[in-house]
């Protein structure tokens, strides 16, 4: 299984989290500079064109990108606190309508960076009745995802496939 993990604006996938994902398959972690590339989603799709991707994951800015990449590829996606509404850097939002694969979206209810209320509003406005959407609102969870919680969500996601 080929897993794509898209990192956030100023972060990378930690070794501990990568080890959790490697239990399920080969992990691809494109190195992205969201600051200088306003077309990150197009770039990601070009970078992955030669790989048969099975699932797409990401956190924060990477969750934003993962949402659209998973739609474009029609593959299941796991997003942690995705920046779907507001981003601190300019990013082109492609017109991708395919939403017919599993989406598991994890939102920290006390996220100080990405508003869970705004994300829920976005998801409501972009509701698609054929998409299998699982939203996990987590009391006490902020923007950063602890390793043990990451593992729980990843395991839960792969059980749904």
Q: What is the pLDDT of residue 38?
A: 96
Using CA atoms, how far residue 62 sits from 11, 70, 130, 159, in Å, is 9, 12, 24, 22
3-state SS, 26-87, equals EEECCCCCCCCCCCHHHHHHHHCCCCCCCEEEEECHHHHHHHHHHHHHCCCEEEECCCCCCC
pLDDT for position 86: 87
Distance of alpha carbon 135 from alpha carbon 104, whole angstroms: 6
| Residue appearing with tokens 């992205």 | 32
Q: Which residue has the tokens 């508003």?
A: 115
For 22-69, the pLDDT digits (tens) are: 999 999 999 999 999 999 999 999 999 999 999 999 999 999 999 999
**Per-residue model confidence as pLDDT tens digits over 77-89:** 999 999 999 888 8
Q: Of 146, 140, 100, 96, which is closest to residue 116 (Cα–Cα)?
A: 140
Distance CA 153, CA 105 (A): 10
Write down the pLDDT at residue 94.
Answer: 81
Domain made up of 2-160: CATH architecture: 3-Layer(aba) Sandwich (3.40)
* pLDDT category of residue 95 using cuts at 50, 70 and 90: confident
> Residue 28: its pLDDT value, please?
98
pLDDT at 97 over 80: no
Q: How many whole angstroms separate alpha carbon 12 and alpha carbon 7? A: 5
pLDDT band with cut points at 50, 70 and 90 for residue 98: low
* Residue-level pLDDT at 128: 83
Residue with tokens 């920290």: 108
Contact 5, 57 (CB under 8 A): yes
Distance CA 97, CA 60 (A): 21
Given a contact cutoff of 8 angstroms between Cβ atoms, the answer to whether 8 and 60 are in contact is yes
């Amino acid at each position: 299984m080929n897993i794509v993990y898209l990192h956030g604006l100023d972060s990378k996938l930690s070794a501990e989290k990568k080890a959790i994902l490697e239990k399920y398959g080969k992990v691809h972690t494109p190195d992205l500079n969201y600051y200088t590339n306003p077309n990150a989603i197009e770039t990601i799709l070009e970078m992955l064109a030669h790989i048969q991707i099975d699932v797409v994951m990401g956190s924060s800015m990477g969750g934003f990108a993962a949402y659209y990449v998973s739609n474009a590829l029609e593959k299941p996606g796991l997003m942690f606190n995705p920046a779907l509404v507001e981003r601190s850097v300019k990013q082109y939002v492609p017109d991708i309508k395919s939403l017919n694969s599993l989406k598991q979206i994890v939102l920290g209810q006390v996220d100080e960076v990405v508003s869970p209320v705004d994300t829920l509003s976005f998801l409501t406005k972009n509701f698609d009745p054929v998409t299998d959407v699982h939203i996990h609102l987590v009391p006490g969870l902020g923007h950063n995802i602890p390793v043990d919680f990451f593992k729980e969500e990843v395991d839960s996601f792969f059980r749904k496939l």
